[in-house]
Each structure stands twice: as structure tokens, then as C-alpha cells.
Structure 1
Amino acid sequence: MARLFVTRPEQDAGATARRLAELGHRAILAPLMEVRVLPGPALDLAGVQAVLLTSANGARALAERQGRPVTGLSVLAVGDATARAARDAGMGHVESAGGDVDDLARLVGARLTPGGGALLHVAGTKVAGDLSGMLAAAGFTCLREVLYEARAATSLPESARRALAEGAADGVLLYSPRSAALFRDLARAAGLGDALGSLTALCLSAAVAAGAGGGWGRVAVAERPTEDALMDLIRTLFP
């Protein structure tokens, strides 16, 4: 049984912990971000042909801001977890790109036309990749609406700090360059930088691995930037 830190926000960590339990592993919850929906009125969706979601947080934020399910529009999600969050929020016509923002841009090009109307990209205050730029280059009008912020933790949760100090963990699941760098920096700030040498950094993508930097026992990258691929990686490394 591997003991693995789960760094996702609380809203998503439980589902990941259950998936790890199904594989026979134990999750140590260590959320690094607190997600807050920004206040504001419901969005005017007139003239919008599709909603683009690059995180599950965006799906939940849009539903909360609108105050009702968003129906009647195509919803294109970056990956399967984001698509599930959109469906859970009552959105219809949801399709997953099954990857990263590059895959999402390709899906937009395959499903939509620039003349069909504007695209609404629901985003947080920190944006990874240049989805708007890629779509603009293809002739689309992409409107970015910042609906939420992910506030970074200022210290490791006590349970995570204790597990790291006692050598009671084998790896850490890392989902973004920002959270990867944050886990590393918070461990060092707690005087536990050397303890990273006993952990496997399980990274969603090469960009996440770059954010994680050095000092780990080993760094492993999922074949695709999806949680399914990350679970496959865990099966391989911790059979």
C-alpha cells in the first residue's frame, strides 16, 4: 500500500482519495488551494455559441454565478474530470477534450466555426496556457470571464507536515505547475526539504514536472494529462 499526498482542493480531493482506495492505496489529504467564487452578476450568454471549461472549478463557479443550470449551449471541457463537474452542475451538451488546453483548442476547431458566435472561457485569476491566443489565431472570438480565484495555502496542513516529517508518505499527486512548486516550497519552508527525497512526484504533465523542480526521490509523468493516466502511472509504480 502506497501512502500518497493528494494536493487537490477539498472539492475534488475526496473523489481522488476514493480512486486511490480502490487501487489499495491510502490518501493523505493536503489541499494547497482554497477556491473562492468571485462575486458578481449572472453572465449574459446572448451570442455565445459554446462555453469552454479548463477546470472543474470553472464549472462550479459558472453554475453558482448563474444561479441555475446552464443549458442550451455546447460545453467543451478540457478533460473528463471537468466534464463530470459540468454535468454534475446540470450543464447539457458536454464534451471532453480528454487532455490539455491544446486538445481543447483542437476540439473547438473540430466542433465549432468562428461564424457561429463567441466562445466563453470560464477562468480563474491564474490561467495556464494560452487558449484565447490559440483560438484567436483560428479566427474565433474568445471571451474570458474570471469567475473564481484559487488562494494558495501559506503552510502545509498539519497532517501532511507530520506525515512528511515522519517519513510516512511515498509520493505526492501534482496537478499543476503552480501547486507542484507550492508543495515543494511549503515543505522547504517547514524545514522538510530533505524529506522530498523520499517521495515520488507523480505529475499530470511535463509542465507540472518542470514546476516541481528538483530534490525529489524521483519524478514521474503521466502519459496523458488526465487523472485516468495518472492512476495508470500509480498502478505501474506502486503495483
Structure 2
Amino acid sequence: MRLLVTRPDEDQDGLAEALRAMGHQAIAAPLLAIRPLADAAIPDTPYQALLVTSANGARAVGARRRDMARLAALPVLAVGEASAEAARAAGFADVASAGGDVEALIELALRRLAPGGGPLLHVAGSVTAGDLKGGLEAHGFSVDRVALYEAVAADCLPEAAIEALGTGAADGVLFYSPRTARSFASLIRAAGLEQTLVTLTAYCLSGAVADALAGLPFKAIETATEPTQAALLGRLA
């Protein structure tokens, strides 16, 4: 299949490789651009652990050399395997994956950490899904959430997407977040290309992502059985 990939550029390569290994073609059509927040400051606090809810968060902290010098030895709890792999690539050695969503990450933290062991550091984007901080603080943890990057929505569909949709050169679209799905819905309507979707299947990471596509005339909407990339790619079969 020929699939539009709506993830940011930073997340395209690994996914494109996985799709090629399955016999599919990836068409890069990022709807979010990742921009580091240069003025973000991580408190000089003796943290118990680092929490990561996106690969971009892991990459952002890994790019901060001074902070990495004091944080690299911390255990890292990541929301999923992609975030865990990015944390390892950034230089963290003790990394565990919750293999799911924010609720799964909270459960992992409750198993691995103790409220009395010290505060937790959550590095993330300026916009996050779920309430990791509130969920853990309800169990007695202290959590510092620091936004290290922002994800800026595209103001128009990428040219690759317009061409693929207009020429019938796409069979489906991959969506990883409700925000990306909402952006796609808005941009596809603004471009007057809704009817190009009638032969396409939308592949969604979760029910919330699928809900954000309500009203668009996709041939079908497939939802992963769990919010992981492995489960999402499994729907392609």
C-alpha cells in the first residue's frame, strides 16, 4: 500500500523503514513541525526518575548537554517503545517502556517508583495528551513538567499529500494523535479535497484519534487494538 505518513519529520525515517519492510510505500506528509524551546529551563533538582511521553521529548533533553551531564544516570520511564528507543539513543542507559499510553505509564511508575524517593521530571512538548502529572500526584508523587519543545501545526496540506490525493497515488493515511487528525480534517476541508478520501483507509493509533476524523468520507477507519506503533502497523495486514 501507499500510505501518507502525517508524523513530524523527526519521526518519519524509522516509520518509513518499518513500512518498507512490510512491503508498503511511505509518503511523507508531516502535519506538525517540532521546534525546541530555547528558553526552557530544567530545575537543578535531585530527581528520582525521568518520565518521557514522546520520542521528541527524549531527543530534546538529549540535545541539552549540560542537563544530560546530570540527568543521564536517571532511570527513564517511557510511554512506549519509540520513546524508549529515543531515550536510549539520547544517552540514557536505564530505560523502561510502559508499552501503551499515559495510563500505562502511570501504572509503570507506581510499580517502579515510590513517592518518598524524590520528585519526578517529565519532559514534554508544550501540548500534551492525558494528565500524567495529575495522575501521579494523586498517588503522592511530586512531578515537575518541563516543556522542551513545541509542535507547530501546518497551515496547509504538504504538497506531497495534495499530489498523492489528487492523483489517486495513496491508499491510506496513518494518524498518531488526535491533534494531527484534527489538523488533517481542517486542512483537507480547506483544500476542498474531502472526496479524494472515499477510496482511502485511515489507520489510527487510538479511538480518540479516530474520533477526530468524524465526518470525513474515508472508505474505512481502522483503529489499533492498543495505542502502540506495533499494533497500528498490525492493522495494515
TM bucket normalised to smaller: over 0.9
Moved more, 33-42 or 79-88: 33-42
Map of 1:60-209 to 2, 5 A cutoff?
A: 60-67=59-66, 68=68, 70-209=71-210
Unmatched 5+ stretches in structure 2: none
Alignment partner, residue 225 of structure 2: 223
Aligned length: 234
Q: Aligned letter for 1:27?
A: A
Partner Cα separation in structure 2 for residue 183 and residue 172 of structure 1: 10
SS in 1 for 2:225: coil
User: How much does 1:40 deviate?
Assistant: 2.7
Kept in 1: contact 2:40–2:146 (CA 8 A): no
C-alpha contact (below 8 Å) 2:40/2:147 kept by paired residues: no
Asked if 1:35 is matched to 2:34, the reply is yes
Q: Is the 8 A contact 1:7 1:30 kept in 2?
A: yes
Amino acid at match of 2:230: D
**Cα RMSD between the aligned structures?**
1.3
Unaligned runs of 5+ in 1: none
Please state whether the residue corresponding to 2:184 is helix, strand or coil: helix
CA drift of 1:168 comes to 1.4
Instruction: Name the SS for the 1:121 alignment partner.
Output: strand
TM-score, reference length from structure 1: 0.94
CA contact (8 A) 2:41 2:146 kept: no
Q: CA deviation at 1:64?
A: 1.8
Deviates more, 1:208-217 or 1:220-229: 208-217
Q: 1:109: how far off?
A: 0.2
Q: TM-score w.r.t. structure 2 length?
A: 0.95
Identity percentage of aligned residues:
52
Shift of residue 45 of structure 1? 4.4
> CA shift at 1:187, angstroms?
1.3
1:81 alignment partner AA: A
Matches within 5 A, 1:7-22: 7-22=6-21
